[in-house]
Structure 1
């Protein structure tokens, strides 16, 4: 039985050629021979609220069996971290991959209150041996300081500091595929 990769997309428009669509299509194409790929549409991505995203994530997780790899892009990564640190998940998680995610509450520009993590959220995460963080050093959408904050809070994570200013990863993210296949 194939392991499942569950991809949670970013906020904003998610139609073809928008938002996380390039990255998710790249991952699906790159991994389809070895992994089942699931990429649900999250509710109201242009005006996201945590509770509806949480409910959709629970629906998706409840459909899965066996080992799962969780991949979150931008807001999707924030949602995965919040969910996993506040709710119980009975699935065996082989890996958690957080890509260009905002650290809500970091400063006055990043204050979507319903997405802010609890203090010491890292202490409440399930034991996930393979945790990866990816962020472009010169990104303009989510500043690199967000990545550095996650890396400080999650010192056991492998932090991939990427050259350039990609946020959407329109041409894919080969190191992510490499890391997933390396598990």
Structure 2
């Protein structure tokens, strides 16, 4: 049976979706035919749901049990918000978050993107959760990865010395970890220099 993966892109405009297609292509190539990667467009509707939680929830509910969820940048942070705020009746095989912003501040535009103070308590530690971040990311500062490590110490963390915000459009590291779900070979919780 083909495993299902949903990839949630960064940003919220068509150009962001088109740019992240390079990441999706890399992931598909690395995973191979045993995985089906669904890549929905998360439209910026201009509504109060700027965080796109409802769109993400619908995509997950329309998937099969054991679905693997991947998010990049804003898509990663909104996927994390969705999983910690919504009661989603779907078994999730794993969550893989790349260049994930940790939103802070009280500005009105930031509020829809921020996680709830108790978000970490709402996450299921039985679901494998992976974070990836490049030290030379110019859009989401690398230091934000440490904030997630403080809140979610049981998750898995991969830091890359280079690759920028888009991981040089090479998701071999993510594909490797997704494939490792089948045999539980992801025992190292923190690793660097990929």
For Structure 1 versus Structure 2, the TM-score category normalised by the shorter chain is: 0.7 to 0.9
Partner of 2:121: 123
3-state SS of 1:117 partner? coil
1:99-157 CA-to-partner distances (Å, cap 9, x unmatched) read 0010011x579x61101001121001134431110001121100011111011111011
Range 162-171 or range 134-143, more displaced: 162-171
Aligned partners of 1:26 and 1:9: how far apart in 2? 14
Q: How much has 1:166 moved relative to structure 2? A: 1.2
Does the CA-based 8 Å contact 1:140-1:165 persist in structure 2?
no
1:71 aligns with 2:70: yes
> What is the aligned residue count?
181
TM-score by length of 1: 0.88
TM-score by length of 2: 0.83
Unaligned runs of 5+ in 2: 182-194
Aligned partners of 1:137 and 1:42: how far apart in 2? 27
Q: How much has 1:67 moved relative to structure 2? A: 0.7
1:21-78 CA-to-partner distances (Å, cap 9, x unmatched) read 2111111232241112111000128x79645712211221121122111111000111
Q: What is the CA RMSD across the aligned residues, in angstroms?
A: 2.5
Does the CA-based 8 Å contact 1:94-1:128 persist in structure 2?
no
Distance 1:16 1:108, change over 3 A: closer
Partner of 1:27: 27
Q: Of 174, 177, 180, which aligns to 1:179?
A: 177
1:107-146 alignment runs, 5 A limit:
112-146=110-144
1:76-112 CA-to-partner distances (Å, cap 9, x unmatched) read 111111011110112111111110010011x579x61
3-state SS of 1:152 partner? helix
Aligned partners of 1:104 and 1:16: how far apart in 2? 19
1:4-15 alignment runs, 5 A limit:
4-11=4-11, 13-15=13-15
Distance 1:118 1:14, change over 3 A: same
Partner of 2:188: none
